[in-house]
Amino acid sequence: MTSLPTGRAAITGASSGIGAVYAERLANRGHDLLLIARRADRLETLAAALRKAHRVNVETLLADLEDPAALAVVESRVGQPDISILVNNAGAGGLGPTANVTADQIERTIRLNVVALSRLSHAALAKFRADGRGLLVNIGSVIAHAPSPSGAVYSGSKAYVLNFTRSLQAEYKAQPGVRIQLVMPGPIRTEFFSSQGLSDSVFPDSSYLTADQLVDAAIAGAEADELVTVPSMADPATWDRLEETRLAFLSAVHAGAVAPRYLEQEAVTA
């Protein structure tokens, strides 16, 4: 078991749901916090409660991460010397079918789920690299593996989080002090659905975890030095099989030859 790096933890999307639980759990472990979101009232109420309950220093930073100027401010703060943990949690995406939304709405989701997460990862990793220590936690989703007619942008953005984070893990393999964890929640009972005008019963009731369960499992996963944490997956071999299939696919596509079925088709049409 590896303990979390000491120092201040920055958490995006800390005003509700998973981010708010991360804030409570990390404060309880003695971490100072930097809480980032748009809703000032929520952030200030949470910050005051955590200062009182856990005697830690809690800073709040109001920012709309879809806005490049606001994101630049957060980026610069996240790269400061006191930050040793970044939880890239802010995310949205209940857009529905792409035919029903504007191109601007699509872009905003990508700005939050992809651009902000990438820029903040980059800023934090530069600092962690220099220190030789730090923990980056990127919150993805199991929807990365579930292309969906009602969630093309969200599913695509979380597939990006999966590949981006897995690639970073490979890049930082030789620097074990720089830890990078991908957390992949399934359905979690938060405001995620209601705040985006979606029904809370998109999935069967029995498939939901609470944000408390999700975060406790994610922190246990980080302490176990897991690269990928899927809190609702009972058997880790399920992930191993997915990886084996992925590697088999990669090996198959490096055959250096066109598949016979396309050559047969050419012969028929010639």
Should residue 238 be labelled a site residue for ligand NAP when binding is judged by CB under 6 A? no
Q: Which is nearer to ligand NAP, 129 or 186 (CB)?
A: 186
Residues 6+ apart with CB under 8 A from 1: 223, 224
Rounded distance between C-alpha atoms, residue 161 and residue 185, angstroms = 12
Residues 6+ apart with CB under 8 A from 110: 153, 157
Q: Which is nearer to ligand NAP, 25 or 42 (CB)?
A: 42
125-184 residues in contact with ligand NAP (CB under 6 A) are 139, 141
* Min separation Cβ 127 and ligand NAP, Å: 21
Torsion sign across C-alpha atoms 227, 239, 94, 149: positive
17, 134, 156, 231: residue in contact with ligand NAP (rule CB under 6 A): 17
Should residue 90 be labelled a site residue for ligand NAP when binding is judged by CB under 6 A? yes
Should residue 191 be labelled a site residue for ligand NAP when binding is judged by CB under 6 A? yes
Rounded distance between C-alpha atoms, residue 199 and residue 152, angstroms = 18
Q: Which is nearer to ligand NAP, 197 or 256 (CB)?
A: 197
Should residue 35 be labelled a site residue for ligand NAP when binding is judged by CB under 6 A? no
Rounded distance between C-alpha atoms, residue 19 and residue 35, angstroms = 9
Contact (Cβ atoms closer than 8 angstroms) between residue 12 and residue 38:
no
Listed residue (16, 44, 152, 156) closest to 95, CA to CA: 152
* Min separation Cβ 16 and ligand NAP, Å: 4
**Sites of contact with ligand NAP (CB under 6 A):** 13-19, 37-39, 42, 63-66, 89-92, 112, 139, 141, 185, 187-188, 190-192, 195
